[in-house]
Amino acid sequence: MMEVTLLGAGDTTGTPTIGCSCDTCERARERGVERSRFSVHVRSERTDESVLIDASPDLRSQFLTYDVSLPDAAVITHIHFDHLDGLGNAYRLLDDLPVYAASETDPETDESVAETVERKYDYLDALSVRSTDPFETVEVCGLRVTLVPVTHPPLVCYGVVIEDRETGGKLSITGDTSFGIPERSREALSDPDLLFADALVPASLCEHHPLGGDHHDDEGVPRTFGTKHMTREGALSLADELNATETRLVHAAHFYPVEQAFVEPLALDGERYTL
């Protein structure tokens, strides 16, 4: 079985956001709940090993708070700091951490995600970068892991599929993405037991984005906020298309109106699942 712990359910600034006194941040403080920067811990019960999906800058507090085991491997979906910079915590903490990242060259950076990770953290002897082709399934910690391209301009970005070959349990993570996920990637992400879907804000907030919304449904509701992230409505629409058994909305911003910010299926830090 897979034991899945959602270490961080928030966006780049997290909720509550430092220095913010909006109703949503204040309510989070009152309730003692948090959405720290995104990260997922997946443990294989069969091998008693764990893999970390994205290395949040909040890694130290997440691991101390939720008492999960140190990772035996990591997967990095893209090079934005809120998904990458926690790797620095490997210093004097881990002796060996294989880091799986995509091999595909990003025209924006002229590097693959794997090459960027290797360059940024060349001072950490514990890290060994494993360059992985998109759609190539690799065995990591006794689990089958596949990186699938999604759409998060201007950088390349990947969703992740994790499967337990013994039980058939499947976790799909959309990664940071608009609703415009390529069809082949949708096929790979489909039929999960659990889906973590990027849902930055509700669709109603698209009117405040300079680019508005995109990927409108038949009723004109935008499923993408700007160009980079799905709306709540877009994430739920994708979940229906993918036939997800259970869906949790992640990478949520503190811009959710307070009356919507803590309503299912929006996730909070520390949620645990067994697949």
Residues 122-144: b if buried by 16+ CB within 10 A, e if exposed? eebebbebbbbebeeebebbbbe
Alpha carbons 230 and 266: distance in angstroms, whole number: 13
Alpha carbons 102 and 123: distance in angstroms, whole number: 20
Quote the pLDDT of residue 48: 96
What whole-number percentage of the chain has pLDDT above 70? 100
* pLDDT-based confidence at residue 41 (cuts at 50, 70, 90): very high
pLDDT surpasses 90 at 79: yes
244-258 average pLDDT score: 98
- In order of their start, the domains of the chain are 2-264 (3.60.15.10)
Beta bridge partners, 230, equal: 224
Alpha carbons 48 and 167: distance in angstroms, whole number: 15
Q: Are 162 and 170 in contact (CB under 8 A)?
A: yes
Quote the pLDDT of residue 92: 87
9-36 average pLDDT score: 97
6-19 average pLDDT score: 98
Residues 244-260: b if buried by 16+ CB within 10 A, e if exposed? beebbbbbbbbbbeeee
Would the pTM count as exceeding 0.95?
yes
pLDDT tens column, 90-140: 888 899 999 999 999 999 999 999 999 999 999 999 999 999 999 999 999
Mean pLDDT of the chain: 97
pLDDT tens column, 126-168: 999 999 999 999 999 999 999 999 999 999 999 999 999 899 9
Quote the pLDDT of residue 143: 98
25-41 average pLDDT score: 97
Quote the pLDDT of residue 247: 98
Q: How far is CA 156 from the centre of its chain?
A: 14
Q: What is the 3-state secondary structure (H, E, C) of the chain?
A: CEEEEEEECECCCCECCCCCCCHHHHHHHHHCCCECECEEEEEECCCCEEEEECCCCCHHHHHHHHCCCCCCEEECCCCCHHHHHHHHHHCCCCCCEEEEEECCCECCCCECHHHHHHHHCCCCCCEEEEEECCCCEEEECCEEEEEEEEEECCEEEEEEEEECCCCCCEEEECCCCCCCCCHHHHHHHCCCCEEEEECCECHHHHHHCCCCEEEECCCCCEEEECCCEEEHHHHHHHHHHHCCCEEEEECECCCCCCCCCCCCCECCCCCEEEC
CB atoms within 10 A of CB 13: 17
